[in-house]
């Protein structure tokens, strides 16, 4: 959530940055500034009346102590109207603050200066490409056919149990899935991330804190009886560990990771591009999260990007890194890198990770601050990244490592699964 003081003092910059996102409601900026002016005026009037009332109460006390009851009652009678005005102004102030809050949460984060202007994925900037596309046999198959051939994943059984988008992993497919989770967690541990095991359901305050609510309400599974949401990513519960927390500056950076299943309704998704593991309603993911000093967040973003790239390199996957354009960025992000892996059988790039810097957008909602030995608490910067999301990684491993003899297991995963080829 943007800070109203920043909006008021940097109106032109805010509008310019929102235009990079192609934001369709720029009038909200002036509406927020107008409400804030009225709010500050109302606050000032209320404070002045309250100060007068406090002074009158003190004077009444002095007069009563001096036995001047008549004079005290006269002042008391005059303060009755002031109390009514104070109550009225307090109610107006509360209404204005709620109105401003309702409008300011509709503003997305401001894109970093390096974010290219664009409308959709086609306008994203390719930062780098690593490796070469694998040379597959002529009869190469897509992962859904390989999963059926080697009895690794049963999509129909998942549909029977729950519905489309909830696959069942079987035998070596399940072992490969678990191996990836353990490998990603082990690598995060080596990089200094403390593992957290967190709830898979969160309350409304947690959803608001990281920006899923109200922006992505329709994309989350809602448990109405208990007013809870199934998490779309471990980012939500992990980052909310620090909601309403003031950290000491020497505690920064905070580095956490966690494995969770993730649940997304993916409303409106359809077509060949969502076949198999390409898009699911439930999937597994290891998430990395950092809370850092504002002066270090963009260096940390690059480090997190390199960590994710290192995972892809160790898995032997051909990938590229994109800097997302304004129109394709998430609502809460200031800068996002997407990592895409080449699917040789499908002949297309598959997104497997997003690494984002949210600057103070989440921490302002979370009231997540840090304080040095001197000075007032200030908002920290938050970052997160998928390291990694499993479905498309598994799809790419199956497709890109297929041979006439079977599917080769990446060398780094062999110690976790106990076999080097799926036959």
What are 195-205's pLDDT values in tens digits?
Answer: 999 999 999 99
Q: Are residues 74 and 216 in the same domain?
A: no
**Range 57-70 burial, b when 16+ CB lie within 10 A, else e:** eeebeebeeeeeee
Q: Residue 268 pLDDT > 60, yes or no?
A: no
Domain interval for residue 143: 121-422
Q: How far is CA 87 from CA 83, 84, 98, in A?
A: 6, 5, 17
Rounded average pLDDT over 349-359: 97
User: Residue 213's pLDDT is what?
Assistant: 93
Q: Are residues 125 and 93 in the same domain?
A: no
Evaluated on CA atoms 387, 389, 392, 393, the torsion sign reads: positive
Calpha distance 352→388 (Å, rounded): 7
- What is the pLDDT confidence band of residue 239, given thresholds at 50, 70 and 90? very high
Rounded average pLDDT over 353-376: 95
Q: Residue 70 pLDDT > 90, yes or no?
A: no
Q: Are residues 72 and 128 in the same domain?
A: no
* 279 closest CA partner among 355, 174, 393, 391: 391
Share of the chain above pLDDT 70, in %: 98
Least confident of 107-116, 224-233, 369-378: 369-378
Q: Residue 59 pLDDT > 90, yes or no?
A: no
Helix 297-314 and helix 171-190: axis angle, to 10°?
140
Q: What total of structural domains would you count in the chain?
A: 2
Task: Provide the 3-class DSSP secondary structure of residue 107.
Answer: coil
Q: Which residue has the higher pLDDT, 181 or 374?
A: 181
Residue 330 is assigned to a structural domain of this protein: yes
User: Residue 194's pLDDT is what?
Assistant: 98
User: Residue 61's pLDDT is what?
Assistant: 83
- What is the pLDDT confidence band of residue 1, given thresholds at 50, 70 and 90? very high
User: Residue 408's pLDDT is what?
Assistant: 97
Rounded average pLDDT over 341-354: 95
User: Residue 352's pLDDT is what?
Assistant: 97
Residue 355 is assigned to a structural domain of this protein: yes
Calpha distance 202→142 (Å, rounded): 36
Calpha distance 11→391 (Å, rounded): 42
* 196 closest CA partner among 249, 236, 227: 236
Q: What are phi and psi of 316, to 5 degrees?
A: 70, 30
Residue 300 is assigned to a structural domain of this protein: yes
Q: Residue 267 pLDDT > 70, yes or no?
A: no
Q: How far is CA 378 from CA 290, 367, 371, in A?
A: 16, 9, 6
- What is the pLDDT confidence band of residue 81, given thresholds at 50, 70 and 90? confident
Rounded average pLDDT over 71-89: 81
What are 109-153's pLDDT values in tens digits?
Answer: 999 999 999 999 999 999 999 999 998 988 899 999 999 999 999
Q: Are residues 338 and 322 in contact, defined by beta-carbon separation less than 8 angstroms?
A: yes
Q: Are residues 234 and 364 in the same domain?
A: yes
User: Residue 272's pLDDT is what?
Assistant: 53
Residues in the chain: 423
Q: Residue 75 pLDDT > 80, yes or no?
A: no
Q: Are residues 142 and 94 in the same domain?
A: no
**Range 122-157 burial, b when 16+ CB lie within 10 A, else e:** eebeeeeeeeeebeeeeebbbbbebbeebebbbbee
Q: Are residues 253 and 192 in contact, defined by beta-carbon separation less than 8 angstroms?
A: no
Q: Are residues 208 and 220 in contact, defined by beta-carbon separation less than 8 angstroms?
A: no
- What is the pLDDT confidence band of residue 83, given thresholds at 50, 70 and 90? confident
Q: Are residues 240 and 144 in the same domain?
A: yes
Strands (E), 149-212: 153-154, 168-169, 194-195, 201-202
Dihedral-angle region of residue 111 (phi above 0 means left; psi in -120 to 50 means alpha; beta otherwise): beta
Q: Are residues 218 and 357 in the same domain?
A: yes
Q: How far is CA 279 from CA 141, 168, 268, 320, in A?
A: 18, 14, 12, 19
Least confident of 24-33, 262-271, 319-328: 262-271
Kindly report the CATH number assigned to the domain that includes residue 300. 3.30.930.10
User: Residue 203's pLDDT is what?
Assistant: 97
Domain final position from 104, 134, 159: 104
Q: Residue 359 pLDDT > 70, yes or no?
A: yes
Three-state SS sequence of 70-102 = HHHHHHHHHHHHHHHHHHHHHHHHHHHHHHHHH
Q: Residue 402 pLDDT > 70, yes or no?
A: yes
Task: Provide the 3-class DSSP secondary structure of residue 201.
Answer: strand
Q: Are residues 97 and 128 in the same domain?
A: no
User: Residue 25's pLDDT is what?
Assistant: 96
Q: Residue 11 pLDDT > 80, yes or no?
A: yes
Calpha distance 316→393 (Å, rounded): 11
Q: Are residues 172 and 90 in the same domain?
A: no
User: Residue 286's pLDDT is what?
Assistant: 98
User: Residue 296's pLDDT is what?
Assistant: 98
Q: How far is CA 270 from CA 142, 154, 274, in A?
A: 18, 19, 6
Q: Residue 236 pLDDT > 70, yes or no?
A: yes
Q: Are residues 169 and 99 in the same domain?
A: no
* Residue 72 burial (CB count, 10 A): 19
Rounded average pLDDT over 150-168: 96
Rounded mean pLDDT of the chain? 94
Q: What string of DSSP letters covers 309-371?
A: HHHHHHTT--EEEEEPPTTTS-TT-SEEEEEEEEETTTTEEEEEEEEEE-TTHHHHHHT-EEE
Rounded average pLDDT over 301-306: 98
- The DSSP letter of residue 293 is -
């Amino acid at each position: 959530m943007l800070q109203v003081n920043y909006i008021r003092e940097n109106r032109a910059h805010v509008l310019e940055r929102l235009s990079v996102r192609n934001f369709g409601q720029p009038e909200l900026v002036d509406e927020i500034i107008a409400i804030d002016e009225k709010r500050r005026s109302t606050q000032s009037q209320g404070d002045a009346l309250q100060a007068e009332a406090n002074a009158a109460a003190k004077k009444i006390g002095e007069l009563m102590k001096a036995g001047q009851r008549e004079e005290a009652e006269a002042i008391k009678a005059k303060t009755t109207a002031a109390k009514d005005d104070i109550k009225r102004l307090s109610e107006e102030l509360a209404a204005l603050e709620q109105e401003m809050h309702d409008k300011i949460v509709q503003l997305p984060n401001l894109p970093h200066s390096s974010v290219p202007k664009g409308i959709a994925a086609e306008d994203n900037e390719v930062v780098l490409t690593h490796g070469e596309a694998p040379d597959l046999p002529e009869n190469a198959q897509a992962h859904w056919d390989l999963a059926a051939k080697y009895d690794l994943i049963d999509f129909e059984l998942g549909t029977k149990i729950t519905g489309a988008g909830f696959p069942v992993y079987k035998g070596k497919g399940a072992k490969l899935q678990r191996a990836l989770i353990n490998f990603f967690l082990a690598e995060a541990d080596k990089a200094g991330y403390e593992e957290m095991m967190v709830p898979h359901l969160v309350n409304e305050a947690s959803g608001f804190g990281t920006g899923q609510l109200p922006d992505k309400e329709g994309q989350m599974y809602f448990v109405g009886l208990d007013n809870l949401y199934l998490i779309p990513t471990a980012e939500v519960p992990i980052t909310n560990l620090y909601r309403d927390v003031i950290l000491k500056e020497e505690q920064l950076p905070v580095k956490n990771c966690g494995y969770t299943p993730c649940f997304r309704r993916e409303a409106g998704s359809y077509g060949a591009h969502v076949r198999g593991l390409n898009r699911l309603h439930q999937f597994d993911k290891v998430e990395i999260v950092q809370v850092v000093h504002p002066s270090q967040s963009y260096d940390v973003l690059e480090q997190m990007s390199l960590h994710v790239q290192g995972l892809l390199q160790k898995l032997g996957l051909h990938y590229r890194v994109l800097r997302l354009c304004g129109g394709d960025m998430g609502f809460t992000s200031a800068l996002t890198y997407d990592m895409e892996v080449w699917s040789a059988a499908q002949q297309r790039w598959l997104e497997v990770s997003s690494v984002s810097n949210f600057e103070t957008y989440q921490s302002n909602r979370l009231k997540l601050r840090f304080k040095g030995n001197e000075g007032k608490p200030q908002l920290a910067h938050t970052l997160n990244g998928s390291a990694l999301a499993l479905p498309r990684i598994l799809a790419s491993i199956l497709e890109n490592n297929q041979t006439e003899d079977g599917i080769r297991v990446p060398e780094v995963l062999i110690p976790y699964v106990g076999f080097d080829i799926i036959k």
